[in-house]
Structure 1
C-alpha cells in the first residue's frame, strides 16, 4: 500500500510519468528530458515502425539553421501560444502537466541531456564514471554555474533535490517521481522515517556527486538526469509545504539554472520568460519569450498576422489547419511523430471514498467496476472502434494508429505482440454474447447478464479540440454494437483529473493522452497496479512482474532480453486491456521565419532556446 495526494493537478499529455515528464535546455545541442511519470526512459535508438507516420520534417522548410539569414543577432522578443493555461506548479519535483513544462523547459536543467538519437550526454555534469557493477555513478559538475539569483550551483543542490523526492511526506504532498529515488541505497529506511540520513546521494565536494544504488541499475543514466532545484530556496521548507511555496508558484520566485528566468505572470493570460544574461553556456540571443494563452480557434489568425511567433508543444498546429499554415509564406512547418499517444481507458476498479480522501492507493481496497470488469466486454468495445478512420478523418492522415503503450520511436515498441484491434462488429457481438450481455427486452440495446439496463458512460475533458471531436464519434461507434452510451458533458481538465484521480464514482470509460519520457521505454509510473497515473486501477500481477523483470539485472543489461520481456508485456496489455490505444498524433510545429536556430528533438520543440534568435 502506498499513499498519494488526494488530487493530482491537471494532466494533459503529460510529461509523467512516468513521467513523468521536461525538456530542459541542455548543452551542446543536447536536450535533457525530465522523464515525468513515464518520463524515465533510457533509450539508444529510434524505431523505424510506422514510417508513414514518422515524417520528421514534412514541409520542414525550415530546418532553420539552414535558412537563417546572416549571423545570429542579439536581442528580440518571441511570443508563443498555448491553448490551455498552466495549472501553476513551476517546480520540477511537483509539476504534472505539459503546459507547466513549457515554462520549466526554459528555467531548469538536469545533470545529463539527450540528443536526437536519445543518447545521454553532458548537461550540468560534464563527465561521469560508472563502477563495474552499475551500482554507483560519480558525476563531475560544470564549474561556474549560477542560479538565477546569483547563488552558486553545487553538488549540495543535487543531493537536496533527490533527498526531497525521497523524503517522508513527498508522496502525500502530491509528488509522483519516486521512481528516480526508490532504487537508491537507504531509500526505504529514509522514506519510512527510520533514519534521518539518506545514503543514496553524496556530495563528494562542491562539484562532485555520487549516486549509490542498492542493486545494479539498468536505467542508471536516466535516474540521475532529473532537473535540479535550489537548496538555498527550499532548505527550510517542509516537504509538505513546498508545493505552496512562492518558489514553486510565483513568477520572480521560481529559480533555476536555465537560459531564461520566469519573471512575470498574468495568470491564465500570459507568462513571461526573460533571458538569463549569466547563463553558463553563454548569454541567450533573445531578450524574452512570452507564452500567451489563446483559444485554439484563433491561434492560426494570430500566427498569420504576426501577433504570435510559434505554435508548438503540447498540441501544436491542428491537423485541419496544416494546409492553411503551409500556405503562409512567412511560416515554417516542422512535423514529426508524437512521443506518446491518445487512449480510451477502461475503469477496472474504483477507489473507496476513504482511500481517495487519505490519498491511499491500495489495490486490496478497490471495488470492482461491474460494467467494465469482464475482459470480454473491454475487448468487445475495442472491436467496435475504427481507429484508422479517426486518423484519416480527424487527423487528416497526420498521425497513425498505435497498438502498444510504448513510444513508437523506442526499440521496445512491438505492435506484432499486440492484438491489432480493428472495427469488427461481428466479433464484438460474439464476445458480448459470450459475456452474457444480450438485448433481453428488445429495445435495441444490450442488457446486463442479470437483465438490467446497461448504460456505459464515456467521459472526456475540454482543452484538446481533437479529443473533444473524437468523443462523440467513439460513442457512436460503440453504440453500433448495441451498447447504450452516456456521453457525458466534458469537464475542464483540472476538475476532470480530480475526478479521475479520486475514481470513487461510476465512471466506465475515459479519454486522455500521454506524452512519454524519452529516457527509457519502462512503463513504470503509468501501468503498474499502484502507480498514481494508473487511473483505470488496473490490477494485474503478471503485468507488474513483467514490468519489474524488464529492468531487473543481470539479464536486463541485455537489450535483447528487455525487448523480449516488453514484447510479452505488450501482449498482456492488449489482451487484458486497461486501455485501447487510439492513435499517435503527429506534432505539427508552426513558427515565423524570423525565428532561427530551432532544432526540435524527437520528444519536443523547446530545445536549446539560448541558441534561438530573430532576424527582423
Structure 2
C-alpha cells in the first residue's frame, strides 16, 4: 500500500498550491445542515467592521468563482452550477423552501390543492415586474411549463422534463398530436392551475420551477431558445429576481445590478460582481479584501479551512453538502444516430464490455479506499456515502446499501470470479476471452480536488490488476458535451451532483430514460421502484416511500452504475462587512435583497 499512500501525500501537497473547485451541478439546488452565521464582531482589518444599526443602502460586493459559467442563462436550459450563480439572483419560482425544506410562498402567495391531489391552483403576487418593466402574470407560468413540454425541447438540450411529464396532456402535446397543452391553465392574470393525470405526491415540488418571460420568448422556436440573445447575453437576460444581469466580460467578470422595482422591496446593495479567478489566488483575495465571499459551487478548500477560519475579518460557515462526487461507469453507449437525433432509447444502446459486468464494477469499488481520500484530500471535511440520495433527506438509508470498504482481496476475488485474470504475468488482468483489457478514466478540469482524485483512483485500480488509461482532462463545457453524447469509447467518468432539495425522488438522474443518466444504466426494476415511490395512494404515506427508496438504494448499491466517492462539506467564507447572510441548507444565496455592507 506504500505506493498509493505516497501518491496521496503528493496530492495533498499539491492541493495547497493548485486550483480547487467543487463539482459541476446538473440540478438547481442542494441541501445540507446549515450553521447559523456567527455574529459579526468589531474588527478594523480589511473592512471587517461590525455592522451597527439598521441596514444601509448602497455598495458593491464581489464574489469569486474558479470556473466561468458556460453561458446559458436560461432556467429551462442551463446545466452548470456556475450558471446558477447568476440565475439564483435573477430568476424565481412560484414557491420557495425554508430551512426544514418545507415549501412556502414566493411568486405565488398562496394555493389550494384539490382533494385527490390532481390539481393545484395558485394565486400569484400582483405587481411583480420583470427586469424590463413588463408585468409578471399567469401567462408567463403557462409559457414556461409549455416550453418544457414542447416537442423538440429535449432535442434542443433540455433536461427538465420531470417537471411536466405528469401533467395532463403532456404525451399528446410533446408528440405533436395536438397544439393545445391542457396541463397548465391561466384562470386569469394572477391565477394559474396545474392539472395532473394522476394524484401527485410531489405536487409542490413540481410547480416550483423558475419562470421565464413569455413576452421575450413567445415567438422564439424551442430549438432556437438556447442560442437566443435573451439566453446568452448580459443585458438581455430577463427575470423577476432582485438583481439584473447587466454586464459581462466573458470568462472574467459578471455584473449584477439591483432591480429597484423588486416586488419584495428594493435591494440594499447596488451591485454584485462575480470574478473568475484561479483558486490558487482566491484565498489571498479574500484575505486582502479584494473579494467579499467564496460560496457555491466551489467553496473554501478543505485544506485551507484553518487558514480562512483564522482570518479575523472573515466569517466561515460549514455545512453538509446536499450532493456527492461520483465515479460513474458507462454501462452502455448510445448509437451515432440516436446522438444525432437527440434520442434516448435504451432499446438501441450498446453494452460497454469493459465495465458492463456487475462483478467488475463491484471489484473496482472494493479496490478504492474512499475513506483515505476523505481523510487526506478533504482533511476530514466530508464523508463516504453509498446511496445517491442526500444524507439529510428522510429517505436516505445507509443500512440498505453495501459499504464497499477498502478490501483489495475481495476485489481480486470478484475479478477472478468474473473471469478477468492475468494470463501473461505482466501484472494486468486480461478479459475472459484473453484479450488485453484497458479501462479509460475521463474527467474535467476546473475541480482540482477531482483532478487530484483521478490519478489516485487510477492507481488503486491498477494495484488491483486493471490497466488504466488515465486520459487528459477536458475543459468542462467540452467534457459535458462528450459525456452527454456518449457515442464514444468512454468507460469511467468523474462528476459531481448537487441534488434538488424539493424531494428525494431520484428521477432526473437515475431512470433509464433520464438525460442525466450519463452511464446509460438500463434497469427495469430500478425504474419501477422509482415509479412505485411516487404512485398514489400508497405513496402518500411517507413510510411506504421510505420502504421503496430503501429497496432502490439497495439495488443501486448492488448494480453500482456509479461508485459514490464522497460527500464533501460545503465551506463558505465571507467578509464580515457583508451582512444579512443566512445560507439555506441547499445553498449560500438566500434573500440577497436583504444583503448589505457596512463600510
Same fold (TM over 0.5): yes
What secondary structure, in the 3-state scheme, does the structure 2 residue paired with 1:553 have? coil
Matched, 1:480 2:480: no
Tell me the residue number matched to 2:512.
529
- Give the whole-Å Cα distance in 2 for the aligned partners of 1:81 and 1:125: 32
- Give the whole-Å Cα distance in 2 for the aligned partners of 1:203 and 1:593: 45
Tell me the residue number matched to 1:247.
230
Tell me the residue number matched to 2:117.
134
What secondary structure, in the 3-state scheme, does the structure 2 residue paired with 1:21 have? coil
Matched, 1:327 2:310: yes
Are 1:63 and 1:599, in contact at CA under 8 Å, matched by a contact in 2?
Answer: no
Offset, 1:64: 9.6
Tell me the residue number matched to 1:346.
329
Offset, 1:352: 1.3
Q: Residue 21 of structure 1: which of 24, 28, 31 is its match?
A: 28
Are 1:186 and 1:200, in contact at CA under 8 Å, matched by a contact in 2?
Answer: yes
Tell me the residue number matched to 2:171.
188
Offset, 1:15: 4.4
Offset, 1:307: 0.8
Tell which deviates more after alignment, 232-241 or 574-583.
Answer: 232-241
TM-score (norm 2): 0.94
1:361-407, Cα deviation, whole Å (9 max, x unpaired) = 11111111111111000000000111111110000011111110001
Tell me the residue number matched to 1:365.
348
Are 1:348 and 1:537, in contact at CA under 8 Å, matched by a contact in 2?
Answer: yes
Tell me the residue number matched to 2:154.
171
Q: Which runs of 4+ in 1 moved over 2 A?
A: 11-16, 54-58, 60-70
Matched, 1:233 2:235: no
- Give the whole-Å Cα distance in 1 for the aligned partners of 2:291 and 2:537: 51
Q: Residue 434 of structure 1: which of 417, 421, 425 is its match?
A: 417
Gaps of 5+ in 2: 1-20, 43-48
Offset, 1:14: 5.0
Matched, 1:61 2:44: no
Q: Residue 282 of structure 2: which of 299, 302, 305 is its match?
A: 299
Tell me the residue number matched to 2:195.
212
Matched, 1:114 2:91: no
Offset, 1:454: 1.3
What secondary structure, in the 3-state scheme, does the structure 2 residue paired with 1:106 have? helix
Tell me the residue number matched to 2:63.
80
1:566-596, Cα deviation, whole Å (9 max, x unpaired) = 0000000010000000100000001101000
1:443-495, Cα deviation, whole Å (9 max, x unpaired) = 11111111112111111110001100111111111111111111111111111
1:124-169, Cα deviation, whole Å (9 max, x unpaired) = 0110000000000000011111111111111111111111111111
Matched, 1:388 2:371: yes
Are 2:248 and 2:255, in contact at CA under 8 Å, matched by a contact in 1?
Answer: yes
What secondary structure, in the 3-state scheme, does the structure 2 residue paired with 1:383 have? helix
What secondary structure, in the 3-state scheme, does the structure 1 residue paired with 2:427 have? coil
Tell me the residue number matched to 1:8.
none
1:494-516, Cα deviation, whole Å (9 max, x unpaired) = 11111111112221111100000
Matched, 1:104 2:81: no
Q: Residue 492 of structure 2: which of 506, 509, 528 is its match?
A: 509
What secondary structure, in the 3-state scheme, does the structure 2 residue paired with 1:361 have? coil
Offset, 1:69: 2.8
- Give the whole-Å Cα distance in 1 for the aligned partners of 2:138 and 2:487: 43
- Give the whole-Å Cα distance in 2 for the aligned partners of 1:293 and 1:315: 12
- Give the whole-Å Cα distance in 2 for the aligned partners of 1:84 and 1:14: 10
Tell me the residue number matched to 2:13.
none
Q: Residue 251 of structure 2: which of 268, 271, 278 is its match?
A: 268
What secondary structure, in the 3-state scheme, does the structure 1 residue paired with 2:569 have? strand
- Give the whole-Å Cα distance in 2 for the aligned partners of 1:512 and 1:603: 19
Tell which deviates more after alignment, 594-603 or 191-200.
Answer: 191-200
Offset, 1:426: 0.8
- Give the whole-Å Cα distance in 2 for the aligned partners of 1:441 and 1:62: 65
- Give the whole-Å Cα distance in 2 for the aligned partners of 1:104 and 1:64: 32
Query: Superposition RMSD on alpha carbons, in Å?
Result: 1.7
Offset, 1:70: 2.3
Q: Residue 453 of structure 2: which of 457, 461, 470 is its match?
A: 470
- Give the whole-Å Cα distance in 2 for the aligned partners of 1:447 and 1:68: 66
Q: Residue 390 of structure 2: which of 383, 390, 407 is its match?
A: 407
- Give the whole-Å Cα distance in 2 for the aligned partners of 1:193 and 1:499: 29
- Give the whole-Å Cα distance in 1 for the aligned partners of 2:23 and 2:136: 31
What secondary structure, in the 3-state scheme, does the structure 1 residue paired with 2:244 have? strand
Matched, 1:281 2:258: no
- Give the whole-Å Cα distance in 2 for the aligned partners of 1:64 and 1:502: 52
Tell me the residue number matched to 1:499.
482
1:181-225, Cα deviation, whole Å (9 max, x unpaired) = 111111111111111111111111111111111100000000100
Gap change, CA 1:607 and 1:408, over 3 Å in 2? same
Are 1:272 and 1:290, in contact at CA under 8 Å, matched by a contact in 2?
Answer: yes
Matched, 1:89 2:72: yes
- Give the whole-Å Cα distance in 2 for the aligned partners of 1:403 and 1:436: 26
- Give the whole-Å Cα distance in 1 for the aligned partners of 2:104 and 2:505: 20
Aligned length: 573
- Give the whole-Å Cα distance in 2 for the aligned partners of 1:278 and 1:300: 35
Residue pairs, 1:305-316, within 5 angstroms: 305-316=288-299
Offset, 1:68: 3.9
Gap change, CA 1:55 and 1:148, over 3 Å in 2? closer
Are 1:14 and 1:21, in contact at CA under 8 Å, matched by a contact in 2?
Answer: no
Offset, 1:172: 1.1
Gap change, CA 1:171 and 1:185, over 3 Å in 2? same
- Give the whole-Å Cα distance in 1 for the aligned partners of 2:469 and 2:527: 32
Tell me the residue number matched to 1:561.
544
Tell me the residue number matched to 2:240.
257
Offset, 1:62: 4.5
Are 2:421 and 2:431, in contact at CA under 8 Å, matched by a contact in 1?
Answer: yes
Gap change, CA 1:439 and 1:15, over 3 Å in 2? closer
Are 1:124 and 1:142, in contact at CA under 8 Å, matched by a contact in 2?
Answer: yes
Gap change, CA 1:130 and 1:287, over 3 Å in 2? same
1:81-135, Cα deviation, whole Å (9 max, x unpaired) = 0010001011111111100000000000010000000000000011000000000
- Give the whole-Å Cα distance in 1 for the aligned partners of 2:411 and 2:313: 49
Tell me the residue number matched to 1:613.
596
What secondary structure, in the 3-state scheme, does the structure 1 residue paired with 2:367 have? coil
Offset, 1:61: 3.4
